[in-house]
Amino acid sequence: MAERVRVVLACDSCGARNYHTTKAKSRSSERLALKKFCPTCNRHTMHKESK
């Protein structure tokens, strides 16, 4: 049974927390970084895992 943890993705430019997702706990050593649309910046930016 894979345990999943909730993570928040925050814009790397302005710090706005725009997305939340889940990930497998076994991969918790690596930080998620995804390119997502930020409504605050009004463009796509890198969004990184935040707590």
- Among all residues, whose Cβ is closest to Zn ion? 11
Q: Is 37 in the site for Zn ion (CB under 5 A)?
A: no
* Shortest distance in whole angstroms from residue 14 CB to Zn ion: 3
* CA 51 – CA 22 distance, rounded (Å): 12
25: part of which helix (H) or strand (E)?
Answer: none
* Shortest distance in whole angstroms from residue 12 CB to Zn ion: 8
Q: Is 28 in the site for Zn ion (CB under 5 A)?
A: no
Tokens of 3: 């345990």
Contact 8, 33 (CB under 8 A): no
List residues near Zn ion by CB under 5 A. Answer: 11, 13-14, 16, 38, 40-41
